[in-house]
Structure 1
Amino acid sequence: MKATILTIGDELLIGQIIDTNAAWMSQKLTALGISVLERITVPDEHGPIVEGIRYCLRKSDIVLITGGLGPTKDDITKLSIADYLGVGMEFHKEVFDRIKAIFAPRNIPLTDAHKDQCYLPENVEILTNTMGTAPGMLWQHEGKQIVSMPGVPYEMKAIMTEQLLPRLAQNPDRKVILHKTIMTAGMGESSIADKIKDIVDGFDEEVSIAYLPGLAQVRLRITAKGDNESVLQSKLDKAVELVCDRVSDLVFGYDEITLQEALQEMCIDRGLTLGTAESCTGGHVSHLITSISGSSAYYKGSAITYCNALKQKMLGVKAETLEAYGAVSEQVVEEMVKGALDLLDVDIAVALSGVAGPKGGSIEKPVGTVCIAVGTHGLLETRTILSSKDRSKNIAYASNQALNMLRKYVLQVK
C-alpha cells in the first residue's frame, strides 16, 4: 500500500509553524508497512488543495490530509474535497450533538461557525475526534481513500491512533517494513559509505541503507522490506552484523541511544567517575551529560572557566602556558584536564577551549577551532577540531566530539 501526505496551511509555507504532523504520520504509516511516497504542503486556497489531492491520488492508494477544518473562513478543506469528489455538502446531526456536548458544561453558546463545521461532503465516513470539535473524515473514491483530519497535532494523533491506524493495520496489501539504526560517531558519512561499500553492494534486494548525518554523528538506518517478517528479520540482522563488524570502533549503540547515554552506561559499568572543564562550550557538555537520568551515579561536576583568570585560579593553568600557546591550544586543555581531575576528584576528565564565534579567531586559529583533551594523570589524549562559523553548531559539534573522545577513552579501561 502506498500513501501520500498533504498538509494544508499558509502558516506552514511561511515557516511560522513547523510541520510536525507529517513526520509523525510518516513514522506511524511506515511502522505498518505502508510506503509513504511523498509529503507536500499547499496554501489555504481552493485551487492548490484540489490539485494537491488530484496529484496525491495519482501516485498513491491513500492520501492523508491535515489542516483547514476549523470554524473560520480560511478553513476551506471540506469544500475543496467536495469539489474534487463532485458532491454536495450535508448536515450531520451527530457532529452537531457532539459539539453541543463539548460546550454545554462550559455554558458556551454555539455560533453559526460551529454549525458550519457540521456540514460535510456527501458519502463521508466520520472518524470521531475525541479531542476536539472537527471530525476526521474518510471517503472511498475509485478504489482509493481520502482521509481528512484537523491540523491540531493532538487531535490528528487521536484520530489516527484511535480510528485510522487500526483499520490500516488490517489491510492485506501492506508490506512488512523492519528498521534497525546503527549509531556511529567519529567518521563522516562519505567515509563510512566508502568503508562499507562492498557490504552494501552485496545486500539482498529487500535490504537497503540510509546515511543520516548529524553533528559529529552518523545514523546508519538499515531497512528490510517485503512480505515475510521472519525472513526479513533474518536478513536485517545479518546486514546489521556485517556493517557493525566493519565499523565497530565507530558504533556506540542502536536506534535512539545518545552518546551521553552510552557513556553513562560504560562509566557506571566500570565504576568510573567523570568531571568536565569547559571554556568555549560554556557548560554544554555538562548539560548533555546531566540531561540523562542517573548521571549523578558517575558524573561529579564541571568547572566553567570562560576567562583565562579562572583557568589559572580554578584549574591551575600556568600563566606561561597561556602566554606561549594561547587559551585555544592543546597544551592549555591538557592542563585544564589535570586541574579538573584534582579539583573535582574524579577518575577521568575532559576539557575544551576554543573559538565558538562568530567573532574572534585568527588566521592560525579561525572561528570553529576547538581543542579537546581527555584523560587521567597517567594518560592524556588531545585533539584539535575545526567546525563552521555558526556559534551554536560549533558548540554542539565540539560537545559531541568531546563525548565521543570520552567514550573511546573509557573503552580502554577494563
Structure 2
Amino acid sequence: MQRPVTRQDFDQWIVPTYAPANFVPVKAEGSTLWDQQGRSYIDFAGGIAVNALGHAHPELQLALQQQAAKLWHTGNGYTNEPVLRLAKQLIDATFADRVFFCNSGAEANEAALKLARKAAVDRGFTQKNGIVAFDHAFHGRTLFTVSAGGQPAYSKDFAPLPAGIAHAPYNDLAAAAALITPQTCAVIVEPVQGEGGVNPATPTFLQGLRELCDRHGALLIFDEVQSGVGRTGSLYAYMHYGVTPDVLTTAKALGGGFPMGAMLTTESLAAHLNVGSHGTTYGGNPLAGAVGGKVLELVNRPEVLAGVKERHQWFVEALQAMDQRLKMFKEIRGLGLLIGCELNQNYRGKAKLINQLAAREGLMILIAGADIVRFAPSLIITQPEVQEGLVRFERACRAVAEGASI
C-alpha cells in the first residue's frame, strides 16, 4: 500500500523551480477542483490557459480511453491515424498547409525559430539570421526561446545566450522598424502577451509587422501558445486581427490538458525542415492526437466561440463593478477569456498576495508579474461558476485592501 503524499513532500523531493500552492488538487470536474481535504476551488486559472474545456470533459475522456485501448506510442519512425486527422483539422481551419507536432509551446517556438534560420540558409542568405522579438514577451524556457523572450530575469543566469536576437517595445511599430533589416530572418510576436501582462497587440502594430516582414523577406511568426484554440473568441487570434503569419505556434489548449504543441506553416516553408533536420520522440503521439482532435472539434464551433465573447463580458462587467467598490485596478484588459487586471499605484506588487488569499477563499487564479492578476478559465465555464468565483475574488481583494497578509 502506498503511503499518503502531502504538499510538504514537494519541498523534499522536487527540484525547487516552482512554488506551488499549499493545497494538492486530487479531483476535478468542469471548472471546480477538490483538494486532499475535500475542499472545493473554482478554477479561473485553467492550467495556465490549457483546460479549454474544463476538467474531466466526458468527450475528451472517451477519446483518450478509446485510443489508449488501441495504440499509445510508436516514435517518429511511424505515423498514426489520430495525428493525421488532427493535422487535417488544423489545415482546414487555418492558413496552414503543413503541421509539425511536438509536446509544448517552447518546442513549437523552437521549431519555428529554427525553421526561420534554416529557410534563409537554404535560400543562400547565410548572414540572414537576425530575429526580432519584443520586450516582456514569453516564448518558452529552452535556451533559444528564453533568449527570444523579452524578460531578462528568465535568461540572465544562463549566458552565453544564442546571438542575433534583438528586442523592441511591444506595440511600438517605429522601434520594430528600426530593428528589422535585410539580415532579419524572423519576427516573433504574441498577438496577446500573456505572461508579459495580458497586453493585446493593436491592429496597426501587427499589420505593420506584416508589411515590414514582406519588405525585408523575413518570416512573421505568431506565438499563439496562449492566445490560440478559441481563447480570444476566434479559433486563433490572427483571425481576430485579420493578419496572417507565415508560421504559427500553438500548444496549451490544443491538448485540453494533454501535453501537445504544434507549429503550423505553409507548403514552401515546410519544405526546409527536410528529413533529419528536426524531430521529437513524443511529438504526434497517438494519445495526444486523439485528444487534440476532439478538443479542436468541440472548440471550433460558432456557439463556443461566441460563448467566449459572452463570457468576456460577464467577467469585465463584474470586475468593473467590483472596482467601483474597491478602487483597486488601474486597467482591466484582454481579449476573450484571457483577462488581466492591472493593480493601481496603491496596490503595486500585491498580485501574488491576492493570488494566495484567493486560494484561501477557494479560487484558483493566475498572475502576470507583480502587478497583474490574470484569468484564463475554461472556455465553457458556467455563469454560476463565474459569479461565485468573482464573489470569492472580491473577498480576497477586500482582504488585501484591509491590510491582510499571508
Same fold (TM over 0.5): no
Greater relative contact order, per chain length (Cα 8 Å cut-off, separation 6+): 2
* Structure with more strand by fraction: 1
TM-score when normalising by structure 2: 0.28
TM-score under structure 1 normalisation? 0.28
| Larger of the two Rg values belongs to structure | 1
